[in-house]
Amino acid sequence: MSPSEPRPKEQVQPYQPFAWPSGPTVSLVTPEDIPQSFCDVVAARRSSRTFGPLTLTDISSLLWYSSRVLARQSSALGFDLSQRPTPSAGAIHPIHVLACSSAQDSWQRYDPHRHCLTEVPHGLLAPRDAMAGIAPAVDPQKGTLLWLAAEVGKTASKYENPESLIWRDAGALIAHLGLVASYLGLHFCALGATGATWGIKLNEAQLICGVGAALVGTPPCTDISGHDVEL
Which has the closest alpha carbon to 118: 223, 190, 216, 24? 24
| pLDDT at residue 155 in the model | 97
- The stretches in the chain having pLDDT less than 70 are 1-3, 203-206, 222-231
- For the segment(s) 39-220, the CATH number from 3.40.109.10, 2.40.50.140, 3.40.640.10, 3.40.50.1100 is 3.40.109.10
- Predicted TM-score (pTM) of the model is 0.92
173, 87 in Cβ contact below 8 A?
no
Distance CA 171, CA 192 (A): 12
| pLDDT at residue 231 in the model | 31
Classified as helix, coil or strand, 110 is strand
Please give the C-alpha separations between residue 180 and each of 33, 62, 106, 114, 127, in angstroms, as whole numbers: 12, 6, 25, 20, 24
Classified as helix, coil or strand, 15 is coil
| pLDDT at residue 102 in the model | 85
| pLDDT at residue 203 in the model | 63
Domain residue spans of the chain: 39-220
| pLDDT at residue 63 in the model | 98
Distance CA 92, CA 102 (A): 32
